[in-house]
Amino acid sequence: MERWTQEEMDSIYKNLMQKAVTDEAFRKELVADPNAAISKATGKSIPADYRIRIIEDDPSYQSTFLLPPFAGEDLSEDDLKSIAGGICHGDSCPVFKCGKNTPK
């Protein structure tokens, strides 16, 4: 997989979302096989073992939450605090866009 800068990833994401809203065939392709559709749209290869999941927005829900992987009962106190308080993943966070590890 070619290395993409954060700016490239943001631009690719924006362009893919715009295309998926207006191009029904592309949207179906993106949902069915994200790697192939993104490679085709960007001209950049994505390894077959790099998994991407596309989740279509469902207007019957007001919110969608992405849960972190299950960790069992072996979380440290710091891990528990970060989960309980929420974490923003910097500028790549689609919700807060805060650039920090805590929501504003």
Residue with tokens 């790549």: 92
**Are the C-beta atoms of residues 19 and 41 closer than 8 Å to each other?**
yes
Q: Are 13 and 43 within one domain? A: yes
pLDDT at residue 104, as a whole number: 42
Q: Under a CB-based contact definition with an 8 Å cutoff, are residues 20 and 26 in contact?
A: yes
The reply to whether 40 and 5 lie within a common domain is: yes
In a domain, 67, yes or no: no
> Measured between alpha carbons, how far is residue 49 from residues 1, 38, 45, 46, 52 in Å?
10, 14, 12, 8, 9
Give the residue numbers spanning the domain of 38.
Answer: 1-54
Same domain flag for 6 and 35: yes
**Distance between the two ends of the chain, CA-based, in angstroms?**
34
Query: What is the predicted pLDDT for the residue at 29?
Result: 95
In this predicted structure, what is the pLDDT of residue 59?
87
Q: In terms of domains, do 38 and 79 share one?
A: no
Does 63 map to a domain?
A: no
Residue 80, in any domain of the structure: yes
Q: Same domain for 5 and 43?
A: yes
Task: State the pLDDT at residue 102.
Answer: 45
How far apart CA 1 and CA 97 sit, in angstroms, is 26
Q: What is the mean pLDDT of each run of 10 residues along the chain (104 residues)?
A: 78 92 95 93 85 88 84 71 59 50 44
Q: Would you say residue 104 lies in a domain?
A: yes
| Tally of structural domains, the chain | 2
